[in-house]
């Protein structure tokens, strides 16, 4: 059972050993006395010539926007004249068809795709389901999820990058092992990586670049000519901070046929013809994407009759029809439902009736509050009880500021997060609304939609506090993994960030805990997740995770939050999950063999002790590491030379 997202891209690139045993580009490569630098230039020139002759390339790619934002997978076909079509896939959920023509990006994405973009490009979802031409803007991105000028990824541009990297005097040459059954070498210069086959033809297996620093490949943004020229001519030595904050593209090219490139040109032309600009007017957005019900109270402010009359008008100001029921409540009449049927866009209906006069028998004017609200499955979802409970708590989906198609899920999330709290607990209401607003502003609502739709999050009352961590990349990765697990495993029941009450009466927490069933075998796992942005943090963070799983982390120190320190429940498999980010450098590209070799390296003998418990027993049962090349697991931890004793569990 997968514990993490699938690999963004299956490529194998260079390994830089921690003891400096990799080649530095000097000396002989054993091929006729030719130096590594000369061999690099020769092989690069040969590979570049092969690329330049192609009518187009297919690219399996992964794009990281930088600053810890989620990666996007891309499958693109790019012609020699700079036309491109393909698909973009976001982590867990969200997909878009894309086209590039005439220096313009065109997109046709689903709701989940647009709900994860910057609001300027359609978090309101008006862009869903049809071709849109996003506006360019200054900076790296035309689109948060894929800020690359796709047309500049044509064969000739890729060939230029290959030549420039392999002929650079500072090129670092690294053994890349075996790729597709052939020996391969990585060439690294100026923060760019090219992996080539050692034997002729010198196939290009992978290219890794910052598109803002790899001319003639470009970003998908608008820049003044002087700024653009500076980017093309100045290369920098990247620090770890640069790698983390800057965007990065990894692409694996394959040749395509003339027939395939002709299809790309035709599809790009069709997208260009059909595309429309995204909506930018808040007023237009508010009246779009579904029914929008507004209520007007028609009765006079002062009632002097017995009984009093009341009248309401409900109008659908949206752009789609919707079924609605008006609920009214007055003193002495807690709830009265008035079904309105289906209201077409622009249609209104009046509801009238009588109610007791609250001032009867008092001899004075009595002030009181009357309430009305409209239930519609388009707003609250199919269960009227959700709407009633939210109304009783003075909550509504509009509190989170989302488009109508997202409101039923927001209603369910609000209800799940608050329904077990006391009705007078306004603090719980406020925390739930604030948490969902923040999650929506970060484009995380589609992940929460997956979680809510599953109905198998066992501690929704903790969700508001758990979401407070998703403003950092580590918290985002945990949220993604929980959503992925609930989406792909229909039997999984998950406790996100704690709240699991065990048979011993104690409550336990880890980043997530789950129970499932596979082939009739019950699976019980407690997972501690660490997202590594710098290679030097790998062992300290793995050690922290093992300590947390065993309740041995920061013992005796005060803990933040309402729940106690981390510890896996008894009889649960203890899992350390490591997510390697691009900013770790070469480790981001290690395959399982490379990782195993590094983890067993003599330089880490002392560090490996951190994976043992205080009593010397093994501190984990499963290690999982995910990076650009795959998701790798170890249950036989003897392969890593851990100096721990096996414990009976």
Could you report the per-residue pLDDT of 378-437, keeping only the tens digit for each? 999 999 999 999 999 999 998 988 888 889 999 999 999 999 999 889 999 999 999 999
Instruction: For residue 649, give the 3-state DSSP assignment.
Output: coil
Long-range CB pairs of 70-74, under 8 A, 24+ apart, other chains included: 70/476, 70/480, 71/8, 72/145, 72/146, 73/8, 73/9, 74/98, 74/146
* Higher local confidence (pLDDT), 318 or 347: 347
Which of 46-60, 111-125, 152-166 is predicted with the least confidence, judged by mean pLDDT?
A: 111-125
Q: Give the percent of the chain with pLDDT over 90.
A: 53
Whole-number percent of the chain with pLDDT over 70: 84
Lowest mean pLDDT among 212-221, 315-324, 451-460: 212-221
Confidence (pTM) = 0.80
Question: For tokens 């196939």, what's the residue?
Answer: 203
Identify the band that residue 615 occupies on the pLDDT scale cut at 50, 70 and 90.
Answer: very high
**Model confidence band, residue 196 (pLDDT cutoffs 50, 70, 90):** very high
* Whole-angstrom distance, CA of residue 457 vs CA of residue 507: 16
Q: Determine the pLDDT at residue 29.
A: 40
- Residue 26 pLDDT > 70: no
Other beta carbons within 10 angstroms of residue 438's beta carbon come to: 16
Question: 14 pLDDT exceeds 50?
Answer: no
* pLDDT at residue 537 in the model: 93
pLDDT class of 280 with cuts at 50, 70, 90: low
Give Cβ neighbours of residue 592 (< 8 Å, ≥ 6 apart).
630, 632
- pLDDT value at residue 237: 43
How many angstroms separate the CA atoms of 40 and 47, rounded?
A: 10
Q: What is the mean pLDDT of residues 103-109?
A: 90
pLDDT for 75 beyond 90 = yes
CA-nearest of 280, 319, 294 to 398 is 294
Q: Burial code of 335-357, b = ≥16 C-beta within 10 A, e = fewer?
A: eeebebeebebeebeebeeebeb
Q: Could you tell me if 59 and 253 are in contact, meaning their C-beta atoms sit under 8 angstroms apart? A: yes
Q: How far apart are CA 28 and CA 10, in angstroms?
A: 31
Cβ 532 vs Cβ 580: under 8 Å: yes
Whose tokens are 């789950």? That residue is: 514
Burial class of residue 604 (count of CB atoms within 10 Å of its CB; 0-12, 13-18, 19+): middle
Burial class (CB in 10 A: 0-12, 13-18, 19+), 619: buried
Mean pLDDT of the chain: 84
């Amino acid at each position: 059972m997968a514990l993490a997202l699938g690999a963004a891209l299956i490529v194998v690139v260079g390994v830089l050993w921690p003891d400096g045993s990799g080649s530095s580009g000097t000396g002989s490569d054993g091929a006729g006395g030719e130096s590594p630098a000369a061999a690099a230039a020769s092989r690069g020139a040969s590979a570049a010539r092969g690329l330049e002759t192609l009518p187009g390339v297919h690219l399996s790619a992964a794009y990281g926007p930088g600053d810890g934002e989620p990666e996007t997978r891309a499958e693109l076909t790019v012609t020699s004249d700079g036309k491109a079509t393909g698909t973009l896939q976001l982590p867990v959920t969200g997909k878009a068809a894309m086209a590039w023509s005439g220096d313009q990006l065109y997109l046709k994405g689903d709701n989940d795709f647009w709900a994860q973009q910057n609001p300027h490009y359609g978090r309101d979802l008006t862009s869903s389901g049809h071709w849109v031409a996003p506006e360019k803007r200054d900076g790296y991105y035309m689109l948060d999820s894929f800020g690359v000028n796709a047309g500049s990824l044509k064969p000739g541009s890729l060939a230029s990058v290959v030549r420039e990297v392999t002929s650079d005097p500072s090129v670092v040459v690294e053994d890349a092992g075996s790729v597709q059954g052939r020996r391969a070498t990585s060439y690294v210069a100026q923060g760019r990586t090219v992996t080539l086959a050692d034997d002729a033809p010198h196939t290009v297996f992978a290219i890794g670049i910052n598109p803002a620093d790899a001319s003639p490949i470009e970003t998908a943004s608008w820049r003044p000519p002087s700024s653009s020229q500076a980017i093309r001519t100045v290369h920098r030595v990247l620090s770890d901070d640069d790698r983390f904050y800057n965007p990065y593209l990894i692409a694996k090219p394959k040749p395509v046929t003339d027939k395939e490139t002709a299809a790309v040109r035709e599809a790009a032309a069709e997208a260009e013809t059909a595309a429309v600009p995204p909506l930018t007017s808040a007023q237009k957005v508010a009246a779009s994407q579904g029914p929008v019900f507004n209520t007007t109270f028609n009765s006079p402010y002062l009632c002097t009759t017995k009984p009093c009359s009341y009248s309401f008008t409900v109008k659908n100001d949206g752009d789609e029809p919707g079924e609605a029921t008006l609920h009214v409540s007055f003193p002495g009449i807690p709830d009265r439902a008035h079904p309105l049927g289906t209201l077409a866009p622009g249609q209104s209906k009046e509801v009238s009736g009588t109610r007791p006069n609250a001032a009867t028998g008092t001899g004075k004017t009595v002030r009181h509050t009357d309430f009305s609200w409209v239930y519609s499955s388009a707003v609250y979802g199919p269960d009227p009880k959700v709407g009633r409970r939210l109304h009783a708590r003075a909550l509504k989906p509009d509190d989170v500021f989302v488009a109508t198609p997202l409101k039923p899920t927001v209603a369910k999330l609000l209800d799940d997060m608050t329904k077990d709290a006391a009705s007078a607990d306004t603090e719980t209401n406020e925390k739930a609304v604030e948490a969902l607003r923040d999650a929506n502003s970060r484009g995380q609502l589609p992940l929460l939609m997956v979680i809510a739709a599953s109905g198998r999050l066992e501690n929704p009352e903790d969700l508001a506090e758990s979401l407070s961590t998703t403003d950092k990349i580590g918290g985002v990765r945990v949220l993604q993994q929980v959503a992925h697990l609930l989406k792909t495993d229909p039997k999984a029941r998950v406790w996100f960030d704690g709240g699991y009450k065990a048979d011993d009466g104690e409550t336990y927490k880890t980043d997530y805990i789950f129970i499932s069933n596979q082939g009739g075998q019950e699976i019980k796992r407690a997972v501690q997740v660490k997202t590594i942005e710098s290679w030097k943090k790998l062992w300290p963070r793995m050690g922290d995770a093992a300590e947390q799983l065993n309740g041995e982390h920061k013992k005796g120190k005060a803990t933040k939050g309402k729940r106690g320190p981390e510890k896996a429940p008894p009889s649960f498999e203890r899992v350390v999950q490591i997510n390697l980010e691009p900013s770790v450098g070469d480790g981001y590209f290690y395959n399982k063999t490379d990782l195993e070799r590094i983890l067993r390296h003599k330089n880490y003998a002392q560090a490996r002790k951190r994976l043992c418990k205080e009593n010397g027993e093994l501190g984990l049962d499963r290690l999982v590491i995910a990076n650009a090349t795959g998701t790798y697991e170890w249950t036989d931890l003897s392969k890593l030379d851990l100096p721990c004793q096996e414990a009976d569990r």
